[in-house]
Chain A
Amino acid sequence: MTSDTTTTRPTLFCLHALGMSRLEYGPVADALGDAFEVVALDLPGFGDATTADGVTVDDMVRQVTRQIRRHGATRWLLVGHSMGGKIASIVAARTLAGQGGLFGLAGVVLLAASPPSPEPMDDENREQMIAAAVDGPLDADTRRAFVDDNVGAPLPTALDDQALADLHRTSPEAWTAWFDRGSREDWSAEVGTLDLPALVVAGGADGPLGEEAQRRLNGAVYPRATHLTLDGAGHLLPLERPTEVAEAITSFWRDDAGRAPVMSDDFARVIASSRTASNTRGILAKRAVADDPRYAPQVLTEAQLATLRAVAARVVPQDDPDHAVDLAARVDAQLAAGQGDGWRNADLPSDPEAYALGLDALADFTDLTPEQRDERLAAIVAGDPDDTLETVGDSGGGDSHHGGDQGDAGLTGGTSDDTARPSDAEAHPFSVEQLTAWFEDCRVDLVKAWLAHPATMERIGFDGFANGRAGRALQGFSRLGAGQREGWEPAMEVTR
């Protein structure tokens, strides 16, 4: 099974602009080198693709979905240029909803992209473009003008020739369908907001799809987007600035989209397969994307989030810090969504308040050595007042139950001056017992956030989510004994 479980390099599925073809990604692919597998597709009616299966936006989405599914990639980005950007956003939305049998989308790269909402376009221009294809393929003057109107500076000859040739072989139906319908269609309700890593690149000298439109239209769809503007570039970014586009994609992957925990290909393929119901696939798809490296806490303060991250690292240590779940951020998001677990200890305030108080009591946690951190948490679990509350330092003071005690080994002090301490209520809104009770909730929340990630499920050997759809389509387990395994199951090799 080992050959099936090795994790391959990420795949970029690249969708071209109107009038272009998969060839427009050639220079970007060259600049990217071997770190990515670049799969550039011809959209229907462009390049070598026929119009047999239709040329509407919906047709394009379905054909792209089918090609990605056939490819079988398990860790991939969608790259969409102009018209291809609209297709990319719709495919991304469907993938995150668990539809189409796709899984493994790690992020979206948009290059001067058309948004899911109607594309800003001058009516006169639209009419001219439709008129240009009324009698058949675009004529030489139209092709020449189209390239010239869409670049910030002339292209190198070979690329210029390629762009003109792609325009020449563009199907008039596909060309007209985009101007007449596709660019006008409003898919924003179906796409909604896509909370996943996104890189949105604009050309500084582009027209209606320039920087302002990218921030306003695509920025609203992708709240986590990194925006980049290439000064002086026009609309044909992959042809005009392949090196800069490739560099941006590389760092986007390294710093953002590629930082999620990695699962094996065979595990990801089980999630993509019909063994996994689409609603469950959608849940796992959203959870599998990398956390936002710039996550801004919604309930906690930045300081409390930093403390919680440090606590999380001790409670649920993750092996690979470059591909880890940001457990603290996910707990903050859960608190913001008001998702409790149906009960709380009667001695604790509401969950957000309890977290604030608990983390404030641990405000110095990040100053401790790893060993001290563990001692501190062990003391909290044990409900030991000496160790739990006396290390708060200047911001917290000591604890009146044990005012005369000496600081214990491994603590950072803060117990030296009884008279300078604030009152117990001000210094420690939490009692020892409350801190213990809160930390019980805290570690449950943290381990839950870790286990909910499909990569963790693979690690611990769990594929129980893969039991088919409702009714007769439900697929159970029939080989139930110890050590038994069914043919469809991923290897889930033991890592311990």
Chain B
Amino acid sequence: MKLDAQRTYDESEVVDAVVIGTGAGGAPILAKLALQGLKVVALEAGPNFEPDEYTQDEVEAVKINWMDERLSGGETPTAFGQNNSGKGVGGSTLHWGAFTPRPDERDLKLKTLTGKGEDWPVDHAELIGYIEEVENFVGVSGPADYPWDPQRSYLMPPPARNASSDMMIRGCEALGIRATDAPAALVSRDWRQEHVGTRPACVGCGSCHQGCRSGAKVSMDTSYLPMAVANGAEIRPESMVTGIELDEAGEVSAVVYVRDGVEHRQRTAALFLCAGGVETPRLLLHAGIANSSDQVGRNFMAHGATQVWGTFDTEMRGYRGYPSSIITEDTMRPDGVDFAGGYLIQSLGAMPLTLATTLARGAGLWGPELVKALDDYRFMAGVGINAECLPSEQNRLTLSDELDENGMPKVVVTFTPGENEKAIDEHAVATMTAIVEAAGGRDIRVLARTAHTIGTCRMGTDPATAVVDPDGRSFDVPNLWIADNSVFPSAVVANPALTIMALGLRTADRFLASAGLSGAVAGERVGADVSRVVDAA
């Protein structure tokens, strides 16, 4: 994105806030604070990209992913790299799939309703209010009628269905499962984005995960960040934060970061930590702050993301079009099961390398069997889940004794699915297999995987068991706020990015209210009445 004309701040100046990370959590905060006239600086570890720098080539497209090495342990070591965090101005929204179901109310009250997991200290209706604000600002496309939430509406029609979509619809219909077009954070019509211009309608190129080169897919660098910069925020790319300094009162006074191999220090009155479920706890553990609860790094969660693929008689070539255009939420609370929570199912498009990695790793294929599976690639179509994951003591992020190039310890993330996760997965595999078979698929392949990095800095009401309070504010360091997936007390079935954006806006409002800025401006909707579908009535 364009940063050459942005306002800049001196490092010695005490800015109103520093935001670490420019992804789904940090970008809305930056925009909202800048809109209130605050002096804000964002520090982003990755580079600033222009859309023509992205490549569809899967090997080289990893430049938008967080590829710094993480160590992964436990029974099912989480695959990081391409599968998870992003790196670049825009964070993970550069590579995300833009699949945007909304969080289910029951998921926020999991403990109350099931006795398992945790409740969110966040009111569902309030969260949905923020989600609608996000959807209306960034542009989300979806079906006219959403079977699981009749009140819901979307501004634009859903993206076009591809062969995988037709397959999933066919299979679900045969089984009596309701399925429909998925909400997708992309513009299916030309869309006027304030401070950006026109984001052209999605053309179905299929390369969402390699970076959207037209701006149709929602990404922070084509939505909230340009608004932030237009209102006086400064974004510093390639700035890796390595330390946080506290003053005598125990409040954050400055942030230390490395840019071009040189250490810098930005003074600030407040700090927003929005670096995601791995880098956020890593920085806190490294800095040794905000952890009187000893909860930083604990309760790492990863969504179950198992896929079931079938081979069909005709060429499916699921790399064409928006990759995950069909959803069912019928499986959010299946009947007759003894697990807590549930899962959603989506249709899948997969790039060959991504699928091959899962075939070789998750399915253990090699030799002629692997080559045969890849020769089948064009005939394959599948469905996948996003499944609840309960917080667990044994799943934890800690610092290793290996240092990275900046002298920061690499993390070790240990993850082993519990009984609840295994029970959900078993149920989901049976359901997905039935769908794919009912649609005419054979040679069923089940590919185990997980997705997203959640937990590690949980939000709660008790300072003894949580890192941040229900506003997102550190119990220990009063001017430190966290807004990303690390604060999630439980995983929530819905894919996290939309919820993170909403939490970002909410955290910004809570911050503004705490600073006495709540009067005329706080709570005002970012971008209200400025973004719209071009040619809409």
Contact = CB atoms under 8 A, between A and B. Distances in A.
Contacts of A283: 55, 57, 59-60
Given A343-B80, A477-B320, A317 B52 contact: no
Contacts of B58: 452
Contacts of A468: 205
Nearest to A338: B69
A384 B367 CA distance: 18
A461 B204 contact: no
Contact of B352 (A280, A316, A343, A460): A460
A315 B65 contact: no
Contact of A342 (B52, B70, B161, B213): B70
A444 B319 CA distance: 20
Given A343-B80, A444-B357, A477-B321, A471 B213 contact: yes
B242 interface: no
Contacts of A496: 372, 375-376
A483 B366 contact: no
A478 B54 CA distance: 22
Nearest to B440: A482
B18 to A, nearest CB: 26
Interface in A426-441: 440
Nearest to A457: B352
B328 to A, nearest CB: 20
B332 interface: no
Interface in B299-348: 312, 314-317, 319-321
A342 B206 contact: no
Nearest to B165: A480
Given A464-B56, A470-B52, A476 B204 contact: yes
Given A277-B55, A314-B367, A340-B67, A472 B200 contact: yes
Interface stretch (A9-17, A236-244, A294-302, A344-352): A344-352
A169 interface: no
B204 A460 contact: no
B80 A342 contact: yes
A470 B213 contact: yes
A344 B321 CA distance: 32
A477 B163 CA distance: 12
A464 B360 contact: no
Interface stretch (B71-79, B256-264, B418-426, B465-473): B71-79
Interface residues of B, number: 75
Contacts of B314: 482-483
**Among the interface residues A343, A344, A448, A459, which one has the most CB atoms of the partner chain B within 10 A?**
A343
A346 B160 contact: no
Contacts of A494: 375, 378
A341 B320 contact: no
A77 interface: no
B401 to A, nearest CB: 12
A492 B371 CA distance: 16
A37 interface: no
Given A342-B62, A444-B361, A448-B356, A474 B72 contact: no
Nearest to A374: B367
A448 B56 contact: no
A480 B163 contact: yes
Interface in B43-97: 50-60, 62, 65-73, 77-82, 84
B321 A476 contact: yes
Interface in B366-382: 366-368, 370-372, 374-378
A316 B370 contact: yes
B357 to A, nearest CB: 5
Contacts of B160: 478, 480
Interface in A313-355: 314-317, 339-347
Contacts of B359: 447
A456 to B, nearest CB: 8
B162 A481 contact: yes
**Among the interface residues A341, A342, A470, A478, which one has the most CB atoms of the partner chain B within 10 A?**
A342
Contact of A343 (B54, B69, B206): B69
Nearest to B312: A482
A471 B366 contact: no
A280 B215 contact: no
Given A279-B52, A461-B378, A471-B51, A346 B72 contact: yes
19 contacts: A283-B57, A283-B60, A341-B82, A342-B82, A343-B80, A345-B73, A444-B360, A452-B58, A459-B375, A460-B352, A460-B374, A461-B377, A462-B317, A468-B205, A472-B214, A478-B160, A478-B203, A481-B162, A483-B315
Given A280-B56, A342-B70, A377-B366, 4 more contacts: A340-B67, A444-B356, A470-B50, A478-B203
